[in-house]
């Protein structure tokens, strides 16, 4: 079996004095207080689940744009963690913040425009004030992790028209509504984004749950995504520990849900895609 890489995990420190809580939007996520996992805990979970590496995505609903704990995870275990930091793309010093956190060995930034503590779609996505961050990322090949809803697709389309060489991965497949079933007219915007070769999708538990609702089936949704995007632009992420349960069980559940895919497609979704997206081979060389 090829290398398994989890594209979406979070780490929460026990020490709140060294790593103070300052969530985006001012409200801390419930999961981060009920079942947090620190660096050592995530490492143990990866080992138990047989996951070689994971992307530690900034817990935006805990630390906001202070990425110190993600940076600490990468510093301590650069062979196991890929770090994604959060920035305020509307801030006048956004480019300086990108340079700062890239300097800690982190591998790309996250733009947080929606979430369980911030329902809806933030209206700043696509604002020209955010373009310096996009421009810098495009120029330097820095990947962007984007937490958004389908309502943000028009704004993302405008931004990608300005920066067509951007590489963007959409958390949770942009939280689509899939209950109408194939051909997924209610999520047409998600499929339209495939025309941009730099757009990738994360198949997390949220996306897979949505794919099992109403008339939809996970198998049909996966077939539509592979046909439209190709498996080389799809990556699996557990969302552990925001997703409740043990990582080993989340991995097993995902492999069961994705079992309709070919061996080649599974190898892409469970490792090759995320490795290519974050240029891991180049970093390890």
Q: How confident is the model at residue 284 (pLDDT cuts 50, 70, 90)?
A: low
Residue 55 CB partners (closer than 8 Å, separation 6+): 5, 6, 7, 8, 9, 81, 82, 83, 84, 107, 237, 274, 278
Name all domains of the chain by residue range, CATH numbers in brackets. 5-284 (3.20.20.140)
Q: Distance between CA 122 and CA 152 in Å, rounded?
A: 8
Mean pLDDT of the chain: 95
82, β-bridge pairs: 55
What are 73-107's pLDDT values in tens digits? 999 999 999 999 999 999 999 999 999 999 999 99
| pLDDT tens for each residue of 243-260 | 999 999 999 999 999 999
Query: What confidence score (pLDDT) does residue 123 get?
Result: 86
**Order of strands across the sheet that contains 234-236:** 5-9, 53-57, 81-86, 109-112, 144-147, 168-170, 199-203, 234-236
Contact call for residues 142 and 180 (beta carbons, < 8 A):
no
Grade residue 2 by pLDDT with cuts at 50, 70 and 90.
confident
Report whether pLDDT(1) > 60.
no
284 or 28: which leads in pLDDT: 28
What are the tokens at 274?
A: 């995320």
209-219: pLDDT as tens digits: 999 999 999 99
Residue 111: pLDDT over 90: yes
DSSP state of 213: S
Give the C-alpha distances (Å, rounded to integers) separating 54 from 165, 214, 270, 271.
25, 32, 11, 10
**Which band of pLDDT confidence, cut at 50, 70 and 90, is reported for residue 70?**
very high
- DSSP H helices, 14-93, are 31-34, 39-49, 60-63, 68-76
Query: Stretch 50-59: mean pLDDT, rounded?
Result: 97
Residue 285 binned pLDDT confidence (cut-offs 50, 70, 90):
very low
Which of 123, 176, 168 has the alpha carbon at shortest distance from 150? 176
């Amino acid at each position: 079996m090829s290398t398994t890489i989890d594209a979406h995990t979070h780490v929460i420190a026990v020490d709140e004095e060294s790593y103070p809580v300052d969530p985006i939007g001012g409200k801390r996520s419930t999961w981060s207080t009920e079942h947090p996992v620190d660096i050592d805990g995530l490492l143990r979970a990866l080992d138990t689940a047989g996951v070689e590496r994971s992307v530690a995505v900034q817990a935006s609903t805990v630390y906001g744009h202070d990425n110190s704990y993600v940076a600490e995870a990468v510093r301590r275990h650069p062979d196991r963690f890929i770090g994604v930091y959060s920035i305020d793309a509307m801030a006048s010093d956004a480019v300086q913040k990108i340079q700062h956190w890239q300097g800690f060995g982190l591998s790309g930034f996250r733009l947080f425009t929606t979430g369980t503590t911030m329902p809806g779609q933030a209206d700043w996505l696509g604002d020209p004030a955010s373009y310096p961050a996009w421009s810098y990322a495009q120029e330097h090949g820095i990947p962007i992790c984007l937490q958004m809803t389908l309502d943000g697709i028009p704004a993302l389309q405008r931004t990608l028209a300005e920066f067509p060489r951007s590489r963007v991965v959409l958390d949770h497949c942009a939280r689509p509504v899939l209950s109408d079933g194939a051909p997924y007219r209610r999520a047409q915007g998600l499929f339209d984004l495939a025309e941009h070769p730099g757009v990738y999708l994360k198949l997390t538990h949220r996306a897979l749950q949505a794919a099992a609702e109403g008339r939809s089936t996970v198998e049909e949704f996966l077939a539509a995504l592979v046909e439209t995007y190709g498996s080389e632009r799809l990556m699996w992420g557990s969302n552990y520990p925001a997703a409740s349960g043990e990582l080993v069980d989340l991995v097993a559940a995902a492999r069961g849900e994705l079992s309709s895919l070919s061996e080649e497609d599974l190898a892409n979704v469970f490792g090759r895609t995320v490795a290519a997206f974050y240029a891991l081979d180049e970093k390890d060389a």
